[in-house]
Amino acid sequence: MIGKKVLLIDDDNDLLELCSYLFKSAGAQVITARDGLEGISKLLTHRPHLILLDIMMPGINGFEVCQKIRQISTAPLIVLTALNYEPNMIQALELGADDCLAKPFTTQTLLARAKALLRRCEYESGYSAVFKYRDRRLTIDTEKYQILIHGRLVKSGPTEFRLLAYLERNAGRALTYDQLLANVWGQEYRGNVDIVHVYISTLRSKIEENPKKPRYIQSVHGVGYIFERQDSTLVY
C-alpha cells in the first residue's frame, strides 16, 4: 500500500490508533476523522485512495456519510459495523459502499480486504475488454460501466457491477460460491458465503421484476448461482 492515502472515519480513538498503525506499517499515508462532517471535509482536501467508515457515530451517522461520499467521490469504501451485520451491510451497499466488515475483526482481515479492494479497482481501471448484454428489460454495458432497466440507469457499486458482469459472462453455467468469491472479490474472501448472498439479494432487488421469483439470477441450492439470459442481444 505504499503511496496510497487511506481516510479513516470513526469516533473510536482506540480503533483509529490501531488502524492508523496498521496502514502506516503497510506504507500508506493515513488521514483520520472523528465524525462524518470532518470526514467529508478531509475527503475533499486529501482525495484518498481508500475510505474506511464506521456506521455508529454521533451526529451524522455512517449511512448518511456514505451517501454524501458517493455524491462526490468514487473512491473504494469499506463500511465497518458492530451490530445487525446483514441489514447494515445491505443498506450500506445500496448507498454505494464496496465492502462491509463486521466488528470485531482482526487487523489481518482488514488489511487483506483493503488490499484486495484496491487491487480490484486498479485492475478495472486498466481493463479494456468490452461487452454488452441487452434484452427487452436489462442492459449490462461494460464500456460505460452501466446497468439499465428499460433504458433507465440503475445505481450500483463496483462490486455489484463486477458480480453481475461475471455471472452474465458465464450465463447458463452454475457458479459455486468459491468461484464467485475468488473471481469477484479475491482469494482473501474465500469461505465468506454470506457476502455473496447479500450482494445477490441487492442485485435482485435492482434488476429483477420480482426479486422473490428471479428470472436472471437463480439459486442453485447448496452450490451457488446461475445467470439465465432472456432473449438477449450480445455485443463484444
168-174: Cβ within 8 A, 24+ apart: 168/133, 168/140, 168/227, 168/229, 169/131, 170/227, 171/226, 171/227, 171/228, 171/229, 172/226, 172/227, 172/228, 172/229, 173/226, 174/220, 174/223, 174/224, 174/225, 174/226
pTM over 0.85: no
Q: Is the confidence at residue 27, as pLDDT, over 70? A: yes
Q: Is the confidence at residue 13, as pLDDT, over 60? A: yes
Domains of the chain: 5-125 (3.40.50.2300), 132-235 (1.10.10.10)
Across 15-27, average pLDDT: 95
For 178-222, what is each residue's pLDDT tens digit?
A: 999 988 888 878 888 888 998 999 999 999 999 999 999 999 999
For 41-73, what is each residue's pLDDT tens digit?
A: 999 999 999 999 999 888 888 999 999 998 888
Sign of CA dihedral 140, 141, 145, 148: negative
Across 7-21, average pLDDT: 94
